[in-house]
Structure formats: C-alpha cells, structure tokens
Homo-oligomer: A and B are copies of this chain.
Amino acid sequence: MQKFRDKGLKLTPQRLAIMEYLDGNRNHPSADDIYSKIRKIYPMMSFATVYNTLETLKKRGDVVEITIDPERRHYDTDTSHHHHLICKKCKKIKDIHRDFSINIPEDQKGAFEVLGNHVEFYGVCPTCNTKGE
C-alpha cells in the first residue's frame, strides 16, 4: 500500500479504498465489481472515480487491463507475465503461472515487432460443471 505514496500521487480516501480493495485481489475484478463492492462501505464513491483511478494505476503500471471477457474489461494487480483460464459460464478468471515458450514462426512474423503474448485458456470451472447437470 505504501508503494503508492510517491510520484506525486495524491492520496484520497477514494483512492485508498480502491487500492485497498485491489491489494492482493486475485479475482480480476471489473470496474463494476470494484464500484459495487466499495460503495457499500463508502457510499460517496463515484463510478467516474473508479475509472479515473484505474486509469492512473494502469499508467503507473500497478494494474494491468485484461481483454478476455467480451462483456467488459477486467483488471489484474498481478503485473508479472502470466496467463489466464476463464470459465465460459461464470466468467471467473484464474491465473496460470507458467512460462510457455511460444514464438511466432519467422515466416509468419515478418517485420512485425512482437512485444509479448498472452494465452487464454477457456473451459468450464468445477463449480459450473457441477451445477450444470
């Protein structure tokens, strides 16, 4: 938490609430997840502030945006290089920590400058599999 007290980042109650919520959170929440949860405790929280803060944290590299759910964006506080497993039914996102050594064949890469990769595994989580039938 203290790691935010620098680079001219002003600390406000709202930011602190968001950062506290995110700290150690491995659920890849959406903006709405964050807003809904926090407003219960801090009803003065605004949606705009959630987006503003996420934008700020993203720029600082404290949070990374995940494009894996077509419905909405999710945010990850684990900024290390890793991959994800998403449940097609409940959209729960799980981390996959493993360094797959995948590289694009030279003939397909051409002059494209490849900066990174992300593997999305998809399927059905144990919970949904049980409930389903």
Interface residues, chain A, with chain B CB atoms under 8 Å away: 65, 67-70, 73, 85, 87-88, 94, 96-98, 100, 102, 104-105, 108-126, 129
Contacts and interface: CB of A to CB of B under 8 A. Distances in A.
Given A70-B67, A114-B85, A129-B113, A119 B102 contact: yes
Question: Copy number in this complex?
Answer: 2
B121 A104 contact: yes
A29 to B, nearest CB: 16
A30 to B, nearest CB: 12
A117 B85 CA distance: 9
Contacts of A70: 65, 67, 73
24 contacts: A67-B67, A67-B68, A67-B70, A70-B73, A85-B104, A85-B108, A96-B105, A98-B108, A100-B100, A102-B119, A110-B126, A112-B123, A112-B124, A112-B126, A113-B123, A114-B122, A114-B123, A115-B122, A115-B124, A116-B122, A117-B121, A118-B119, A118-B122, A119-B120
